Amino acid sequence: MTEKLKTILEQAGEELAKAGSLADAEALRVKLLGKKGQLTEILRSMKDYSPEERKTLGQAANEARAKIETMIAERTAELKKLAQEARFKAETLDVTEPGVSAVPGYKHLISLVIDDTIDFFSSMGYTIAEGPEIDTVHNNFDALNADPNHPSRDMTDTFYITDKVLLRTQTSDVQARVIAAQQPPIRLISPGRVFRCDTPDATHSPMFHQIEGLVVDEGITMADLKGVLDKYAKHLFGSHLATKFRPHHFPFTEPSAEMDVECFKCGGKGCNICKGSGWIEILGCGMVHPNVLKFGDYDTEKYTGFAFGIGVERIAMLKYGIDDMRLLYENDIRFISQFR
Predicted confidence at residue 14, as pLDDT, reads 76
Question: Domain 109-339 classified CATH 3.30.930.10?
Answer: yes
Q: What is the pLDDT, as a whole number, of residue 67? A: 81
Residues 171-200 have a mean pLDDT of: 94
Nearest to 290 by CA among 271, 305, 311: 305
pLDDT value for 95: 75
pLDDT at residue 108 greater than cutoff 70: yes
Model confidence pLDDT, tens digit, residues 294-310: 988 999 999 999 999 99
pTM above 0.85, yes or no: no
- Of 15-29, 49-63, 233-247, the one with minimum mean pLDDT is 49-63
Q: Is the pLDDT of residue 291 over 80?
A: yes
Please tell me the least confidently modeled range out of 49-58, 87-96, 111-120, 235-244. Answer: 49-58
Domain boundaries, the chain: 2-90, 109-339
pLDDT at 50: 72
**46 has a pLDDT exceeding 70:** no
According to the model, what pLDDT value does residue 48 have?
67
pLDDT score recorded for residue 338: 86
